[in-house]
Structure 1
Amino acid sequence: MLETRASVYGLRELGEQTLEESTGLIIVGMHRSGTSALTGALHSLGANAGHSSDLTGASVENQKGFFERRDVREICDALLHAAHADWWKISNFEIGQVEQNQLEQQRQRFSGIVESLSKAKTWIIKEPRLCLLLPLLIDLVPNPICILIYRNPIEVAKSLRTRNQISLQQGIALWEKYNWAALQSVKHLPCVVVSYHDLIADQATTLDSVVDQLAALGAKGLGRPKDSPDFIDRSLQRSVAEPEEMEMLTVEQRILWSFLERKAKPDGDFGYKPTGAQKFILQDLEYHFARHSKAGGGVDFASPSIRSRKVLKLAGFLDHIVFYLRSKIRG
């Protein structure tokens, strides 16, 4: 692994702070899981997200703004593409597949961003792709604190269906892959776990708790929610899960969801293992994207193909087999 920028620059002054004196908050969370809302709220409390010209602006998709740096997005896309992957093309993705020259180039770019942001006591970066890529970059961040935000898988899948026209099963499979990767990425790192639903239901109380936990881990200079105007608009939560829709989850997805709901420190094993079903469904998603891309038309998943129905049926069957075998082994 490359030498970190922190060791290269030593104690050189960066404005009021040295690189080593600053704290980097890294927001880790699946797409459509409230990463923008949480980042924006913490930015309003004093965490430096960078100049507004560096950030993706507000849109119909996210009316409060994304608080997502375009350069970090470019770095993450470059790393994924260097492994023949994309944000949706991850059925076979592993970080060891990233081509070495591209990795070195993007790490250098990321170091420059960290150096710039570290002029503040506490700074913040948000990018959903970091769920998959954080292990390639985290050593470049002095004093990192991860904040893992999660959301109900059905709600995430519904939001993805609206935005990207993909099926609920495919959206849930993406949710599973991203959240499992996120838990693996933040393992053994200082970490705060936040529920999107708590944030929406009671912004002040949830942010108060987050600020307290961050301060205990060393973050400095953050204000209190009562001193800042409400940033989160509940009306923007347009995708809601019905109780009966949770029956769509596989056994393994339920295990993962239950663990996230406990907000436990993601350090040990909690009984979850990725299954072949997840991979089949993600490969089906990739098949559709590739087919429609080659055809030059828009992606339309509103009418599942025969192939999709067969894959989903096979995926469910495989899940039942895996669960049965594991129950026998554990029993």
Structure 2
Amino acid sequence: MTPIAGLPRAPTRHAILILGMHRSGTSALGGVINALGAAGPKTPLPSHAANPRGFFESAPLALAHDELLASVGSSWLDWRQLNPQRINSEATEPYRQKIKQLLIDEFGDEPLIVIKDPRTCRFVPFMLSILNEMNVSPVALLPIRNPLEVAYSLHRRDKMALPKSLLLWLRHVLEAEYHSRHMPRYILSYEGFLVDWRKHMDRAAEKTGVVWPAHPDRSDVKVEQFLTTDLYHERSTPEDMRHHPEVASLVRETYQILSTIAAGDEDNGLLDQLDIMRTRFDDACETFSAAMATEELAVVQLRGELSTRSTETERTRQENSKLASFLEQQSLEVRGLAAERDALVGTRGTLIAERDALVNAQASLIAERDALLRDMSCIANERDALLRSRSWRLTAPLRLIGGLFPRG
């Protein structure tokens, strides 16, 4: 729609696209830009052990990007070029509308927003077309990190093989660089950014025309608390990369060119060299991607089988653990019953001993009673004898007198 003459134009909204490979410092850059006043998403990804201070990217937008990639037969860890016909076809229109609505929901009408998701490197033109529909002007910041450090970080986080990580790095940086040439942008070294973030943010503002809502001087404390080198885990020198057997010459040369651009100004000679790198990479992908895709599919299937077996093993382990717990409980109950039995046996022995003692005591009492009865019988006999003797003595005189004076 053409503006009505005489009416002021609505202020232009800007979106800062952070176009960097996974594990290349995109979260650190997003955090600093957010501290400088650019609006982040309303629904950010939660912090993680790999990013304890946050990702500074939209959770629903990242999910929508995964769905978009899946719709064209790709994923976040695919190093092959996206088919432009497929991603710009009618089949992806629902994803375009979904991403557009999520941008509206996540950022509202903020004048300066920061969109950060490494997946975006794979479909920069697709995202730019959505921002154009929203009348949002894009600028790009491209952090460049030593690809060997990126590969080590991905291996630590995702157990990804180094060669695949390096192919991913190559695809992301070449696509991001090529498709951001026509917009205001700034390419920076991740290591240099950690050393002096103020210089790079001033330089980014100068190169892109962005005015930071919060001046760096007023954001120092917030940034210094967030941006610390203790999160810089993987370290590798250019010399390490040059001599590493798994780093291809195409990776080394691309990193050298991008590092040169980051250290100074762009020139057509360096961009021409990057075009050569991209052409070589695309040609190699076209030659070997089918065979490698077959191998990767076999690996995925094998991982699926291993995952299934692992699940079954875990289920068996849990069942064995439950059985062991049951048996342990039964053993405890048996030991408890045995203890009760032993206690009862001990009580029974005590009762038997007490019974035997009572029997012995009873036998003793009976013997004492019998002895007393015998003694009583003897005493009775003695008493009877005494009575007879006494009676005889009493009657003896009478018998004598009777003899002297018989009756007659």
TM-score range, shorter-chain basis? 0.7 to 0.9
In the alignment, which of 262, 271, 277 is matched to residue 260 of structure 2? Answer: 262
Aligned ranges for residues 226-265 of structure 1 at < 5 Å? Answer: 226-228=217-219, 229=221, 230=224, 231-242=226-237, 243-248=239-244, 249-263=247-261, 264-265=265-266
Most deviating of 171-180 and 278-287 = 278-287
The one of 213, 233, 252 equivalent to 1:222 is: 213
Matched residue of 1:62: which SS?
coil
| 1-structure distance, mates of 2:93, 2:267 | 29
Deviation at 1:64, TM superposition (A): 1.0
Partner of 2:404 in structure 1?
A: none
Match of 1:313 in 2: none
Show CA shifts across 1:118-158 (max 9, x none). Answer: 52221110000001011112022221101111110000000
Q: Deviations over 1:83-130 (max 9, x none)?
A: 111111243532333373442112112222444525222111000000
For the 8 Å contact 1:68–1:127, the answer to whether it is kept is yes
CA offset at residue 201 of structure 1? 1.6
Question: Which protein has greater RCO, CA pairs closer than 8 Å, 6+ apart?
Answer: 1
Aligned CA distance change for structure 1 residues 197 and 144 (closer, same or farther; 3 Å) = same
The separation in 2 between residues aligned to 1:36 and 1:138, in whole angstroms, is 21
Report if aligned partners of 2:145, 2:191 keep a CA contact under 8 Å in 1.
yes
Deviates more, 1:266-275 or 1:76-85: 266-275
Structure 2 gap ranges (5+): 311-408
Which structure has greater helix proportion?
2
Structure number with bigger Rg: 2
Q: Secondary structure at the match of 2:173?
A: helix
> Contact 1:111–1:140 (CA<8 Å) still a contact in 2?
yes
CA distance in 1 between partners of 2:44 and 2:242 (Å): 35
**Residue 14 of structure 2 is aligned with which of 23, 27, 31?**
23
Q: 1:95 to 1:256 in 2, by over 3 A?
A: same
Q: Contact conserved, 2:205 with 2:211, CA < 8 A, in 1?
A: no
Instruction: Count the aligned residue pairs.
Output: 281
Distance 2:309 2:272 in 1: 41
With over 3 angstroms needed to count, the CA separation of the structure-2 counterparts of 1:192 and 1:245, relative to structure 1, is closer
Is the aligned partner of 1:50 residue 2:28? no
Q: 2:149 — aligned with what?
A: 155
Query: Following superposition of structure 1 onto structure 2, how do residues 32-181 of structure 1 map, counting pairs within 5 Å?
Result: 32-51=23-42, 54-91=43-80, 93-98=82-87, 100-116=89-105, 117=107, 119-141=109-131, 142-181=136-175
Q: Give the conservation status (yes or no) of the 8 Å contact 2:241–2:252.
A: no
TM-score (norm 2): 0.62
Distance 1:266 1:86 in 2: 33
Q: CA 1:297–1:204 in 2, change beyond 3 Å: closer, same or farther? A: farther
Q: Which consecutive aligned stretches of 4+ in structure 1 deviate over 6 angstroms post-superposition?
A: none
CA distance, structure 2, for counterparts of residue 49 and residue 95 of structure 1 = 29
- Provide closer, same or farther for how the CA distance between residues 266 and 114 of structure 1 changes in structure 2, counting only shifts above 3 A: farther
When residues 187 and 99 of structure 1 are mapped into structure 2, their CA distance, relative to the original with a 3 A threshold, is: closer
Instruction: State the AA in 2 paired with 1:190.
Output: P
Query: Identity of counterpart residues, as a percentage?
Result: 22
Give me the TM-score of the superposition, normalised by structure 1: 0.76
Q: Distance in 2 between matches of 1:241 and 1:42?
A: 26
Q: Structure 1 pair 295/195, CA: closer, same or farther in 2 (3 Å)?
A: same
Mapping for residues 178-327 of structure 1, pairs under 5 Å: 178-214=172-208, 217=209, 219-228=210-219, 229=221, 230=224, 231-242=226-237, 243-248=239-244, 249-263=247-261, 264-265=265-266, 268-270=271-273, 271-272=276-277, 273-274=280-281, 276=284, 279=288, 283=293, 284=295, 287-296=298-307
